[in-house]
Structure 1
Amino acid sequence: MRDFATGVRMFVRGLGILLRSPRLLLIGALPAALTAVLLLGGIIALFYWIDDLAALVTPFAEDWAAGWRETVRGVTGVAIFGGALVVGLLGFTALTLAVGGPFYEHIAEKVEDDLGGAPAETDLSGGRLFWWGLRDGVLLVVRSLLFTIPLLVAGFIPVIGQTVVPVLLTLVTAWFLTLELVAVPCYRRGLDLKRRRELLRGRRTLALGLGTPAALLTAIPLAAIIVMPVAFVGGVLVAHEALRGSPAHSKS
């Protein structure tokens, strides 16, 4: 639990760093605001059309009794909307980091300079950051679905679905979210997604300590605009901590 508490403190510390440097907060909030508007529009559209979409994917229930048909389609609609929220949360982070790559590289550089552990100068063009961020973001979203879809289905199991499943869903989301949040400082050291997973696997509770408050707060509409840069700075701190003493750190 000590590592988990350390991860939470790094999230809070990220807020403190940005409050002392409003310019960095603004730089980080701009791409987050653009992405939030786009995804919020998508979520609103999905909510408006959710009944039609549920009916579209359950044609087998068309001839059922009205009560059973509405129940199945109601459950299906909740599952679709819940899955979309999880994917939207992870997709929001991936797309924000891809769109705002140069912005977040600048923030990472400033934070790591203050930490005294910046890597050797790297040549990361905006195009490369966008491509790497988008590619890895899509991979992480796809992999997260392998865990979140079964959990969303299990959410309809009485008692377990209302107690255990939400906790597991939050932790799974937190893990994948942290993998995205540490991307830029890892890219600056030439670490790809595979090596990033290996790095955090040894400090899993540290990663969950950062990702849990970030996941919970990012789920609040529009709060993500501020939470995203805060969580990103926390990700720089987590990456810096996890890299200490690792082979990747010795190469930087």
Structure 2
Amino acid sequence: MSPPSPIPTVSPQPRLSDFFQGLGLLGRAAGLILRSRPLFALSALCAVVTAIALVGLAWLLYHYAPLALGSVWTLPESWYGRGAWYTVLVLSGLVLWVVGANIVPPLLLAPLQDPLSEATEALCGGNDGPPFTLAGLLRGITTGLLHTLARLFFLVAGLTLLLPLHLIPGLGSVLWTVLGALWTMTWMAGEFLAAPMTRHLYPFAEVRRMLRQRRALCLGLGAGVYILLWVPILNTFFLPVAIVAGTLLYRGFLKAGLLPPPPGASRGTLP
């Protein structure tokens, strides 16, 4: 008896439970990694590199974040002023650590992202991607670069637009942290959903469309990755788990007919 397909069943229409289904994709992805030797081996390698990157990022923020904040806001003399200064430092540092964790490790592990996604799709069965050609490789590199630049632009632009919230006394920094976290979660969903879609040469507009149309489902995925980043030891596996979860979500969208077939794919290779 063949094992059940790991592809999630996505409702054609948005539902209130979509958020929890998106959150649960991380557990589904972790289970798939533990059952597959190729995925586990790639994930273990990712974990080592991610651990080094996260420790290095935390060290940089610990040593340089106070200097950066002090360059624009001198540490006050009063106790309440110091309290506000350190509150801004901690809250900003938390968001910047999450943002950095979603930029530095993926950049270091870029060569492993496609193999992780490909291995996941192989376990899903069918639609393993277009055959290798030099032209296809060049298109994939170009599409991936454009997607990465677009995603980074939206991340930085969103956080920058929220910066004036710091000007609101007391509550402003808390609002910036909460809204910045929500924006980062949405960005994470786009980041890891785009990984398999880029490999299949979908335009970035399709990624944005899915984020907009299935907002709760994608936000659940992003929230799961965000939470995973705060769990010691397990957070070193956040990248492979997120890539596998994003690939499963992509295949779920494809199976539900929410996405058109990949550009250039033949009908016989679709799930």
State the shift of 1:146 in Å. Answer: 2.9
The number of residues matched between the two structures is 244
Alignment deviations for residues 65-117 of structure 1 (CA, whole Å, 9 cap, x no partner) = 6227645643553354234213213214642552423432432332332xx44
Percent identity for Structure 1 against Structure 2: 25
Confirm whether residue 2 of structure 1 aligns to residue 17 of structure 2. Answer: yes
Q: 1:249 to 1:6 in 2, by over 3 A?
A: farther
Alignment-derived partner of residue 72 in structure 2: 57
Distance 2:124 2:229 in 1: 24
Q: Which stretch has the larger CA shift, 200-209 or 74-83? A: 74-83
* Offset, 1:138: 4.3
Q: 2:36 aligns to what?
A: 21
In the alignment, the residues of structure 1 paired with residue 178 and residue 92 of structure 2 have an alpha-carbon distance, to the nearest angstrom, of 19
Unaligned stretches of 5+ residues in structure 1: none
Alignment deviations for residues 122-165 of structure 1 (CA, whole Å, 9 cap, x no partner): 5464x876665555334323322333355576477656865x76
Shift of 1:21: 1.3
For the residue of structure 2 that corresponds to 1:14, the secondary structure is helix
Which amino acid letter does the alignment assign opposite residue 131 of structure 2?
E
2:12 corresponds to: none
State whether residues 92 and 177 of structure 2, in contact with CA within 8 Å, keep that contact through their aligned partners in structure 1: no
SS at match of 1:248: coil
1:12 maps to 2:49: no
* Contact 1:186/1:196 (<8 A) preserved: yes
Conserved? CA contact 1:186–1:239, under 8 Å: yes
**Aligned partners of 1:200 and 1:207 also within 8 Å:** yes
**Counterpart pick for 1:181 among 188, 192, 214:** 192
The equivalent residue for 1:210 is: 221
Go from structure 1 to structure 2 and tell me whether the alpha carbon gap of 1:186 and 1:48 turns closer, same or farther (over 3 Å shift).
Answer: same
d(CA) in 1 for partners of 2:145, 2:58 = 20
Alignment TM-score, normalising by the size of structure 1: 0.77
2:97 to 57, 68, 85: 85
- State which of 7, 32, 52 in structure 2 corresponds to 1:37: 52
1:127-138 equivalences under 5 Å are 133=144, 136-138=147-149
Q: 2: distance between equivalents of 1:141 and 1:250?
A: 24
Q: Distance in 2 between matches of 1:120 and 1:21?
A: 23
Distance 2:210 2:173 in 1: 32
Does the 8 A contact of 2:84 with 2:170 survive in 1?
Answer: no
Q: What letter matches 2:122 in structure 1?
A: K
Question: Which of the pair is proportionally richer in helix?
Answer: 1
Unaligned runs of 5+ in 2: 1-15, 266-271
Change (3 A) 1:89 1:108: same
CA distance in 1, matches of 2:95, 2:236: 21
- Decide whether aligned partners of structure 1 residues 54 and 237 sit closer, same or farther in structure 2, where only a CA change above 3 A counts: same
